[in-house]
Amino acid sequence: MAVKRFEDLLVWQKSQNFAVSLYQAFSNLKDFAFKDQILRASVSISNNIAEGFERRTNTDFTRFLYFATSSNSEVRSILYLSEKLNFLSKVESDALIETSNEISKMLYGLINSMK
């Protein structure tokens, strides 16, 4: 059965939940520029999946999946920095980084399936 809505994609669902987790993890952070950067990048992951899906061509969808992958990589890079800056504990950052890695694998799997 073909996916008819982006909402049915597991990677979109996981990336939405990931953004919520990041909003919760950084809710009390006073460094607003840092917080804004990671939150905007996290929201871009699922938004790029949705936007690409609605383009209705494999070429466009794949291009937007790469954008989602880039946003996910940005989030992961910032998560490493957040631990070094003591914004998150190692346990917190490791858990979020693992989720980011899972999303990356899912995105690349979807990209490969489009070929």
Reported as a single tens digit per residue, the pLDDT across 54-103 is: 998 999 999 999 999 999 999 999 999 999 999 999 999 999 999 999 99
User: What does the block give as tokens for 113?
Assistant: 């399936």
Whole-model pTM: value is 0.95
The sign of the dihedral angle between the CA atoms of 28, 48, 45, 20 is positive
What are the chain's domains? Answer: 32-114 (1.20.1440.60)
For the stretch 23-36, pLDDT in tens is 999 999 999 999 99
